[in-house]
Chain A
């Protein structure tokens, strides 16, 4: 006899209505947090908001934050969807290394650059598909299924580059990492385009709703007639695709593929960005733009710490403090506290 299991824990997700007036956008905690971080940066470094136009593109610390934050933002776009299905993808950092290694190795062996780019994106799709198959067909927990590729992926990347750091001077690949379009750095343009496209696709079609349905209760979604398996496959494949784009950007930025260090620990940054963006790790409601905003908050903190002259390692301490604050805010304890406050609804 099987009974439907009920999660007895109270859901702690704050309501996230879809169409809110623009004014309330500025009162969201993420926006306030970003503003606060930027303000601190400005106090530390008065020239922080100065943006200059030079050689046909913008320069300035703010642009730098956007540019450096783009790879994590792109990862976060894919990761948001995965986390919305109550999953997680630990392999994105390793997939970045694989994608960069593929592109670099192909280009140096004389393959035309566009083909190399498509091959790199293809490997990303394949890696994502592999994760998706493990999760759906073999029904392995996402954290473990993607752990396999996280462990083996860097080895595969090193296999592709044969253990060397493959450097290249191909203009297209370098353009992806360091070029500019309409004055903005290419990584920022790619991240923005991907964010808009992904948001439109999930919000203007039923896809986003279906993803949330699977995340809230997979069996219920299946009983309601959704093909949860196919949806999960798409989501994991998309996360792999995003990781491949990030891998190309990082490789183009340093003009080489470093199988050991490309994307190292970025999966954790991406997860953190999604969590800061208000998507719960227990699945359900998600927001892609908020996750991108989360990535920008992380990068703004990184930049601030670098400007203020602390060692980069200090970053980790600050990040952990941020996680702790978010956890406390999302916990049932603080929900109970807020409920006692007069004027709080429900």
Chain B
């Protein structure tokens, strides 16, 4: 494991620099309250981006995550409000459905030998369409369990709140880092991203790994949906529109190579935080319009892609 840590280091430094720059403009941003809200507001994006990291590490792409989040919120709302199930049971059902959905996509990608791009595009249409067939309208969720979860948090020094939602995201990142760097599955994912043919020749179970990767991505998208429904107390088929793009952007900004085989889950965390920082700064400033977020994220994305090219050109050439 002597992989170069340069891109991760660069991302971290840029985040710290950007944060200091933001603080120098808006001193109020330097507080645990803001940091706590960072975690809460970006929890669903962070969780989805972890799944995306694994997919991109393996050399694929998953366009369905936003749609799966939307579908999960609707499914949870339907199960709780129409069928009067307990939220925990609804969560379990939703996660199982999401995981199965991802597994089917993974199987299609492997056995039909088609680019992940087009399979997950079909998945995206299917999940969004399925969600709006379930219920075209937004369903509000009212349940004592939801209010209890939303009200519980750990008070950080300085008045910040670490909510349950934020804690779930941190836990997901911790588990994912172990999964990527300390397990056989993780090594298989990296091997697959390096070269599928060599991975297969080395004895990596390509079929099983591919299916697991997409199942994991959809499971995490489902979990992001659970978090989203806890965060907004509603299920709506158009929830989390375009989150797949934010997730891809977070992964790239986090230093993961889009060609696969190289990257860090921890980098994705910084990528998510950097996007959150841009959003928070624009809210703090008050004079900038919200569309600046998109432009800044686009510029960041561009900067990091160019940076990656430069770093990898400067380094020894891999063939």
Contacts of B123 in A (CB 8 A): 320
The answer to whether B258 and A144 touch across the interface, beta carbons within 8 angstroms, is yes
Contacts of B259 in A (CB 8 A): 141
The answer to whether B129 and A155 touch across the interface, beta carbons within 8 angstroms, is no
A149 contacts which of B61, B132, B248, B298 (Cβ < 8 Å)? B298
The answer to whether B121 and A158 touch across the interface, beta carbons within 8 angstroms, is no
Interface membership of chain A positions 244-274, coded 1 if the CB is closer than 8 angstroms to chain B and 0 otherwise: 0000000000000001000000001001100
| Closest chain A CB from B313 CB (angstroms) | 9
- Known: A150-B245, A324-B122, A330-B114; 13 extra A-B contacts, CB below 8 A, are A12-B113, A141-B259, A143-B61, A144-B305, A147-B248, A155-B293, A313-B136, A314-B133, A317-B126, A319-B125, A320-B123, A332-B113, A333-B112
Contacts of A268 in B (CB 8 A): 121, 124-125
The answer to whether A281 and B118 touch across the interface, beta carbons within 8 angstroms, is yes
The answer to whether B298 and A151 touch across the interface, beta carbons within 8 angstroms, is yes
The answer to whether B130 and A317 touch across the interface, beta carbons within 8 angstroms, is yes
Complex CA distance for A129 and B237, rounded to whole angstroms: 36
The answer to whether A141 and B113 touch across the interface, beta carbons within 8 angstroms, is no
Which of A323, A328, A330: most chain B CB closer than 10 A? A323
Shortest Cβ distance from A317 into B: residue:
B129
Complex CA distance for A314 and B131, rounded to whole angstroms: 10
Contacts of A282 in B (CB 8 A): 115
The answer to whether A151 and B297 touch across the interface, beta carbons within 8 angstroms, is yes
The reply to whether the CB of A28 lies closer than 8 angstroms to some CB of chain B is no
Contacts of B52 in A (CB 8 A): none
A320 contacts which of B112, B126, B237, B306 (Cβ < 8 Å)? B126
The reply to whether the CB of A306 lies closer than 8 angstroms to some CB of chain B is no
The reply to whether the CB of B252 lies closer than 8 angstroms to some CB of chain A is yes
Complex CA distance for A152 and B128, rounded to whole angstroms: 24
Contacts of A1 in B (CB 8 A): 319
Q: Which residues A151-168 have CB closer than 8 A to chain B?
A: 151-156, 158-159, 163
Interface membership of chain B positions 284-319, coded 1 if the CB is closer than 8 angstroms to chain A and 0 otherwise: 000001011111011101100110010000000001
Which 8 A-B residue pairings sit nearest by Cβ, starting from the closest? A152-B298, A316-B129, A155-B294, A313-B132, A317-B129, A155-B295, A158-B291, A323-B122
Q: How large is the interface on A (under 10, 10 to 19, 20 to 34, 35 or more residues)?
A: 35 or more
Contacts of B122 in A (CB 8 A): 319-320, 323-324, 327
The answer to whether B112 and A148 touch across the interface, beta carbons within 8 angstroms, is no
Contacts of A9 in B (CB 8 A): 113
The reply to whether the CB of A331 lies closer than 8 angstroms to some CB of chain B is yes
The answer to whether B133 and A313 touch across the interface, beta carbons within 8 angstroms, is yes
Complex CA distance for A2 and B317, rounded to whole angstroms: 11
The answer to whether A317 and B297 touch across the interface, beta carbons within 8 angstroms, is no
Complex CA distance for A2 and B259, rounded to whole angstroms: 19
Contacts of B111 in A (CB 8 A): 331, 333
Q: Which residues B109-153 have CB closer than 8 A to chain A?
A: 111-115, 117-119, 121-126, 128-130, 132-133, 136
The reply to whether the CB of B167 lies closer than 8 angstroms to some CB of chain A is no
Interface membership of chain A positions 314-342, coded 1 if the CB is closer than 8 angstroms to chain B and 0 otherwise: 11111110011001101111000000000
Grouping DSSP codes into helix (H, G, I), strand (E, B) and loop, the B interface class, with mixed when no group exceeds half, is helix
| Closest chain B CB from A109 CB (angstroms) | 19
Contacts of A156 in B (CB 8 A): 295
The answer to whether A314 and B129 touch across the interface, beta carbons within 8 angstroms, is yes
Contacts of B117 in A (CB 8 A): 88, 143, 281
Complex CA distance for A155 and B293, rounded to whole angstroms: 8
Q: Which residues A293-320 have CB closer than 8 A to chain B?
A: 311, 313-320
Complex CA distance for A240 and B249, rounded to whole angstroms: 22
The answer to whether A159 and B128 touch across the interface, beta carbons within 8 angstroms, is no
The answer to whether B121 and A323 touch across the interface, beta carbons within 8 angstroms, is yes
B128 contacts which of A141, A148, A316, A324 (Cβ < 8 Å)? A316
Complex CA distance for A333 and B108, rounded to whole angstroms: 11
The answer to whether B112 and A147 touch across the interface, beta carbons within 8 angstroms, is no
The answer to whether B129 and A275 touch across the interface, beta carbons within 8 angstroms, is no
The reply to whether the CB of B25 lies closer than 8 angstroms to some CB of chain A is no
The answer to whether A327 and B112 touch across the interface, beta carbons within 8 angstroms, is yes
The answer to whether B133 and A151 touch across the interface, beta carbons within 8 angstroms, is no
- Given the contacts A144-B258, A332-B113, A155 and B291 also touching, CB distance less than 8 Å: yes
A-B contact pairs, 23 of them (CB 8 A): A138-B306, A141-B259, A144-B305, A147-B245, A147-B248, A147-B301, A148-B302, A151-B301, A152-B297, A155-B298, A159-B295, A281-B118, A313-B128, A313-B129, A313-B237, A314-B129, A314-B133, A319-B125, A320-B129, A323-B118, A323-B121, A327-B108, A327-B114
Complex CA distance for A327 and B123, rounded to whole angstroms: 12
The answer to whether A316 and B125 touch across the interface, beta carbons within 8 angstroms, is yes
Q: Which residues B72-118 have CB closer than 8 A to chain A?
A: 108, 111-115, 117-118
A163 contacts which of B237, B291, B306 (Cβ < 8 Å)? B291
The answer to whether B295 and A152 touch across the interface, beta carbons within 8 angstroms, is yes
The answer to whether A323 and B305 touch across the interface, beta carbons within 8 angstroms, is no
A148 contacts which of B124, B125, B301, B309 (Cβ < 8 Å)? B301
Complex CA distance for A317 and B132, rounded to whole angstroms: 10
Complex CA distance for A331 and B118, rounded to whole angstroms: 13
Shortest Cβ distance from A9 into B: residue:
B113
Which of B111, B197, B291, B292: most chain A CB closer than 10 A? B291
Interface membership of chain A positions 1-20, coded 1 if the CB is closer than 8 angstroms to chain B and 0 otherwise: 11100001100100000000
| Closest chain B CB from A61 CB (angstroms) | 23
Shortest Cβ distance from B123 into A: residue:
A320
Shortest Cβ distance from A10 into B: residue:
B113
| Closest chain B CB from A253 CB (angstroms) | 23
Contacts of A281 in B (CB 8 A): 114-115, 117-118
| Closest chain A CB from B121 CB (angstroms) | 6
Contacts of B301 in A (CB 8 A): 147-148, 151-152
The reply to whether the CB of A139 lies closer than 8 angstroms to some CB of chain B is yes
The answer to whether A311 and B136 touch across the interface, beta carbons within 8 angstroms, is yes
